[in-house]
A and B are shown apart, each in its own frame.
Chain A
Amino acid sequence: MIDPVIIRPEIALDDFLPIFVSSAFVLIFGGFYVGIYTAVKVNLLKKWTMPIGYFFWVLTAYCLYIMGNLMHVGEFTAKALVVAAFGLLLLPHAVYYMQDNVHEENEH
């Protein structure tokens, strides 16, 4: 096997705090997105709040970008992060779709 050339730049000392904060916000915003989406779907929140939910997803993706950038993640990890971001976008839709299907089948 050929050893791939891996260049790992150092993380600057001042970058640690932004990294931790942005990665925490990834999930906090992600949680808000998912929470708002679900709450709207089960009628705990008004319909017009939905765009706010999507806005939180955009913030999530942005934080993920900041974090990846500051950490100098490699190409592969960057791809993995993009997959995770889109996974998060789709997740509540998929869950809601399936749950609703089951409810339809069982309650009517």
Chain B
Amino acid sequence: MANNITSESKQLATWYFTFAAIIFGAQLLFGLVAAIQYVMPGFLFEIIDFSVARMIHINALVVWMVFAMFGSVYWLLPDETGIETVGIKLGKLLFWIFAAAIVVVVLVYLLVQVGPADETTIWFINEGREYIEAPRWADFGIVVVALGFVANLFLTGMKGQRSGIVTVLMADMIAFSGLYLCGMFFTDNISMDQYWWWWVIHLWVEATWEVFVGALAAYGLITIIGAHRKVVEMWLWIEVAMLFGSGILGLGHHYFWIGTPEYWWEIGALFSALEPLPLVAMFIHVLYDWGKTQGQEMGEGHIDEDHVKSVVTNKPAFTWFVLNAFGNFLGAGIWGFFHTLPQVNLYTHGTQFTSAHGHLAFFGAYATILLGMMYLAIQGSNGIKVLKHTKASIWAVSLITSGVVGMTVALTIAGYVQVLVSRAQMGATWAAYFDGQSGMWFAQAMDWRLVMGAVTFLGFLFLIKDFLSTGKNPVHER
């Protein structure tokens, strides 16, 4: 496939993207299993229980995104530094180690599932901590792989002509890798456990990953629509300031109820209220740059008879990038904001609201832009000048987006029932929980969630079809 790639770094990026796409499929499949279990509790009972399906669902999510993030960095490094990535041999070796480790971890999750209550389980089967269940041996593997990756990034950045984007990525990736260490210890104190667990989870997805997305969006705007580098890079710095400024202490909104002191209410509330602002700002920025470059194009008279020539050189990628700006605002912004203040979070914490927010935010903020990066790689690998939409790519975008939005709406309704019945009215006991789950609205919401999950999966199939075939399609300008 990758005949037009001369850079080894870009070659390696396509490996990362390919593996990421496969794991993305696994994420959706196990998500479907878990969704079916809500509707038919007997499905695969004591074979692949909900806990196992859900663990693979969320782990696959993290893994495919990390793979796609590494891939994105290897893809943009040669463009941003002007040189071949340093230590590419090591990068390739680490890719195979990483991929092999993931396969082993997943097989153990599936075949062994749980272990006795002692340290061997923590070391070899799973750590039982949401999102970072990977057993300790794999933790060390991940640290080694991440260090190798960061080393490649730093050596390349220092040797080549380091752009602002690369500088941001260097700072961001070191924080990203370092934070993982906070999740690598065991304590008997559950409050302490969750305190540090949130350092990994929150400071990843609401700080370092968001900044990473900011850097990718900057790169995307330059490559796809030819936005002005200086403007984009200045904007990136402002975004870093806003994202870290609100996101780091936004950590407080996870410390309302885990045993931590009450002052986190105020800190959490204040910074949570600020957290949507950078997302709004990112949204304006994309719109602004698009309008500006398109306006320039029009002003300079690049107009043919029928229509204005578009400045977009990669339609599917740009669609995903725009969806990212929009989805980040909608999923992380709106769905995050409406249950983030402590007064209301008291009732929504630990309900399907969180799940609704999780689905839309991970998709809107991360999945979209990473899929956009994959389209950039397809364009590059096939030496295409202007990559256009195909039937499959349009189906993929529409089905995946409407599927995820549908799931989110369904889960929000389910969460609302849970808040009213299980929480506000009955007070969160075992019986209260099941009263909420048995409600008609809840049950129907779960049916719709499953349907929308299936729609998403269908969209994924179109996406894969497009990934495999669009490079050969004659509609593109070469």
Contacts and interface: CB of A to CB of B under 8 A. Distances in A.
Interface of A: 6, 8, 11, 13, 16-17, 19-20, 23-24, 26-28, 30-31, 34-35, 37-39, 41-44, 71-74, 76-77, 80-81, 83-84, 87-88, 91-92, 95-96, 98-99, 102-103, 106-107
Contact of A42 (B238, B283, B295, B341): B295
A8 B419 CA distance: 18
18 contacts: A16-B416, A16-B419, A20-B339, A23-B337, A24-B334, A31-B280, A34-B280, A43-B291, A43-B295, A72-B343, A76-B269, A76-B270, A80-B266, A80-B273, A84-B273, A91-B284, A99-B235, A106-B231
B287 A8 contact: no
Interface string B309-345: 0000000000000000000010001100111011110
Nearest to A79: B270
Given A16-B416, A34-B280, A77-B341, 9 more contacts: A11-B344, A13-B420, A20-B339, A38-B288, A71-B343, A73-B269, A77-B266, A95-B281, A103-B228
Contacts of B419: 16
A17 B416 contact: yes
Contacts of B342: 77
Contact of B228 (A16, A26, A106): A106
B231 A30 contact: no
Given A39-B291, A80-B270, A98-B234, A92 B284 contact: yes
A102 B288 contact: no
A99 B291 contact: no
A89 to B, nearest CB: 11
A11 B424 contact: yes
A97 B231 CA distance: 12
B318 to A, nearest CB: 16
B230 interface: yes
A27 B273 CA distance: 11
B328 to A, nearest CB: 12
A106 B347 contact: no
B337 A16 contact: no
Given A38-B291, A95-B281, A106-B230, A27 B344 contact: no
A71 B341 contact: yes
Interface of B is mostly: helix
B280 A103 contact: no
B280 A13 contact: no
B277 A8 contact: no
**Mostly helix, strand, loop or mixed at chain A's interface?**
helix
B129 interface: no
Contacts of B420: 13, 16
A71 to B, nearest CB: 4
B277 A98 contact: no
Contacts of A43: 291, 295
A27 B281 contact: no
A103 B231 contact: yes
Interface string B439-453: 000000000000000
Contacts of A80: 266, 269-270, 273-274
The 7 closest A-B pairs by CB, nearest first: A42-B291, A23-B338, A71-B343, A84-B273, A80-B270, A27-B334, A77-B269
Nearest to B228: A106
A59 B19 CA distance: 46
A35 B343 contact: no
B385 interface: no
B159 interface: no
Contacts of A35: 283-284, 287
Contacts of B292: 42, 99, 103
B278 to A, nearest CB: 9
Contacts of B277: 84, 87-88, 91
A31 B343 CA distance: 24
Interface string B223-245: 00000101100110010000000
Contacts of A17: 416
A103 B232 CA distance: 11
B276 interface: yes
A11 B347 CA distance: 9
A95 B288 contact: yes
Given A27-B337, A76-B269, A102-B230, A88 B280 contact: yes
A63 to B, nearest CB: 11
Contacts of A37: 284
Nearest to B287: A38
B262 interface: yes
Given A13-B425, A38-B288, A31 B295 contact: no
Which of A31, A41, A91, A102 is packed against the most chain B CB atoms within 10 Å?
Answer: A31
B343 A34 contact: no
B108 to A, nearest CB: 41
Contacts of B344: 11, 16, 19, 23, 71
B334 A42 contact: no
A87 B246 CA distance: 13
